[in-house]
Structure 1
Amino acid sequence: MLKLTYTEDSFYMECLTLSLEEWVAQRVIFSLRVGYSLCVQPSTATFLLPVDLPGVEALKTQARRADDGIIDLATCDAEYLEVTLRGSWLSNGSEGADGVFVTTMSDRTEFFVHKLWQEAQSCASVMSE
């Protein structure tokens, strides 16, 4: 399962071994116990990857092979590829941008997307130094 945590100014991606159903159930139980409002709804999440990142072409091939429609790739411009994932958005129900997006794909695709995102983050931090 991929988990993307969105805050006001960034997001963080994790690859978790729990099933989507287990993780959501745990989150619902936790929310009930602490009295926290929780809204779960179908949604999409989008992020960018540099087109020159090693492995992007392999991701394109893998996404074309997947017929489940969970991942879509689109070229934004000469520098970036837009990755769109379909899954579920969990938040407190407010209009803010804070929340958690979760989705599930094949283990291989999840690991690959997570690895590419980590590499993109590493490249970005090296360039900003």
Structure 2
Amino acid sequence: MLKLTYTENGFCLEHLAQPLENWVATRVVLALRSATPLFVEPSTASFLLPADLPHLAELEALETRENPHALSLAVCDAEYVEVCLNGTWLVSDPDSEEGIFVTTMSDRAEFFLFKLWQEAESIAFLANE
């Protein structure tokens, strides 16, 4: 399972071994016990990866092998590729842009996408130093 946490400052991607249904069920129970509103709905999420990342061609090949509704790629411009995912959006305020998005794909696709994101984050961090 991939978990994307969107905040006002950006987002964080995590690769979790827990099944999506179990994770969502735990979040629902937590919201019930803490009397916190929770909205859960099918949704899409996207993020950008640099177009010059090594192994991006492998991600394009993976896109054709995955469920066609799970993952799609779109060229934004000469510098970035947009990764679009289908999954579930969880948020305490339905109008908020901050929340958690979870999705599931094959283990290989999840791990590969996570590693590409980590590589992009490392490159961005080094460029800002």
Shift of 1:9: 1.9
| Deviation beyond 4 Å, 4+ runs, structure 1 | none
How do residues 1-129 of structure 1 correspond to structure 2 at under 5 angstroms?
A: 1-129=1-129
Q: Distance in 1 between matches of 2:65 and 2:22?
A: 27
Unpaired runs of at least 5, structure 2: none
The whole-number CA distance in structure 1 between the counterparts of 2:28 and 2:67 is 30
**One-letter code aligned to 1:60:** E
- DSSP 3-state at the match of 1:54: coil
- Alpha-carbon separation, structure 1, partners of 2:55 and 2:100: 26
AA aligned to 1:12 is C
Letter in 2 for 1:34: S
Aligned-partner residue type, residue 127 of structure 2: M
Cα RMSD of the aligned pairs, angstroms, is: 0.8
Looking at structure 2, the residues matched to 92 and 15 of structure 1 have their Cα atoms a distance apart, in angstroms, of 22
Identity fraction in percent: 53
Q: 1:77 corresponds to which letter in structure 2?
A: D
TM-score by length of 2: 0.97
Task: Give how far 1:97 is off.
Answer: 0.9
Secondary structure of the corresponding residue to residue 127 of structure 1: helix
| TM-score, normalised via structure 1 length | 0.97
SS in 1 for 2:58: helix
User: Residues 71-127 of structure 1: CA distance to partner in whole angstroms, max 9, x if unpaired?
Assistant: 000111111100000000000133121100000000000000000000000000000
Structure 1 unaligned segments of length 5 or more: list them.
none
Check the 8 A contact 2:70/2:87 in 1, yes or no: yes
Q: Which string of whole-angstrom CA distances, capped at 9 and with x for unpartnered residues, describes residues 14-67 of structure 1?
A: 000000000000000011111110000010011000111111110000101223
